[in-house]
Amino acid sequence: AQSVAQPEDQVNVAEGNPLTVKCTYSVSGNPYLFWYVQYPNRGLQFLLKYITGDNLVKGSYGFEAEFNKSQTSFHLKKPSALVSDSALYFCAVRGSWGKLQFGAGTQVVVTP
Amino acid sequence: DTEVTQTPKHLVMGMTNKKSLKCEQHMGHRAMYWYKQKAKKPPELMFVYSYEKLSINESVPSRFSPECPNSSLLNLHLHALQPEDSALYLCASSQVQGEKLFFGSGTQLSVL
């Protein structure tokens, strides 16, 4: 079965510092991975996806993610965090029937 | 138009009431989804419609009844709900089943 794990419940970072949100995956076959972000009282918003190809995927709002097959990781990164990046972040993997399996989520708190 | 619109935004209902949640998209997407989300938790898939046919039912209790009247509309009919059904109900759509999801802002449901 396909699954993802987000090992951190919360990540705290100062504005202007680099932001990393961790995700590891477990799949049979080639992974189809996503990152979504959820701001308070909103639905989830798509940030980026990895299917095949370049291991560095660029997405919305200055985010990027690095796919690492040997470490089975797909960490989300942003070089310089903004207070407005404070939100709940979900990693997800596509499984059978196209169903998305979401990670538990990581709360990002960016302090001024 | 890249929006998924959900109505109402908030709903309070008693355990004997019947109500409906509505979802609409005009992106020409052929897959539509209902998710249930508890606070600070990942969304849980409930139903998927693909080309207006029910594709996935995640063993959801019969007090939840989905309906897809046409390719742009998705309804969720609610009857005899329990307090534990209180949650944020999210609608999403995608080009086809399994592709990136576009989420609505959700309906915050409280069952008294």
Name which of A3, A46, A91 to mutate to probe chain B: the one with the most chain B Cβ atoms within 10 A of its Cβ. A46
Which residue, among B25, B100, B34, B30, has the nearest Cα to B67 in the 3D structure? B34
Whether A44 sits inside 8 A of B45 (CB atoms) is: no
Confidence of residue B7 (pLDDT cuts 50, 70, 90): very high
pLDDT band at A2 (very low <50, low <70, confident <90, very high): confident
Residue of A nearest to B10 (CA): A41
Taking contacts as CB-CB distances below 8 angstroms, the residues of chain B near A49 are 100
- pLDDT above 80 for B105: yes
* pLDDT score recorded for residue B1: 62
Spatial contact of A75 and A61, defined as CB atoms under 8 Å apart:
no
**Does residue A28 have a pLDDT over 90?**
no
Residue A12 CA to residue A58 CA, distance in Å, equals 22
Q: Which two tokens stand for residue A109?
A: 């708190």
What digits encode the pLDDT tens for the residues A62-104? 999 999 999 999 999 999 999 999 999 999 999 888 899 999 9
Who among B40, B42, B45 is closest to A99 (CB)? B45
- The per-residue pLDDT for A30 is 87
Percent of chain B whose pLDDT exceeds 70: 98
Q: What is the pLDDT of residues A30-73, one digit of tens each?
A: 899 999 999 988 899 999 999 988 899 999 999 999 999 999 99
According to the model, what pLDDT value does residue B56 have?
Answer: 92
Tell if the CB–CB gap between B101 and A42 is shorter than 8 Å.
Answer: no
- Quote the pLDDT of residue B2: 67
**Helix, strand, coil % over all residues of chain B, rounded to 5:** 5, 55, 40
Average pLDDT for chain B: 95
More confident residue, B8 or B2: B8
Distance, in Å, from the CA atom of B5 to the CA atom of A57, rounded to the nearest integer, reads: 29
Residue A22 confidence class, pLDDT cut points 50, 70, 90: very high
B6-25: buried (b, 16+ CB within 10 Å) or exposed (e) per residue? beeeebebeeeeebebbbbb
d(CA B109, CA B37): 10
Q: What is the arithmetic mean of pLDDT over B36-42?
A: 96
- What pLDDT sits at residue B63? 96
Q: What is the pLDDT of residues B65-92, one digit of tens each?
A: 999 999 999 999 999 999 999 999 999 9
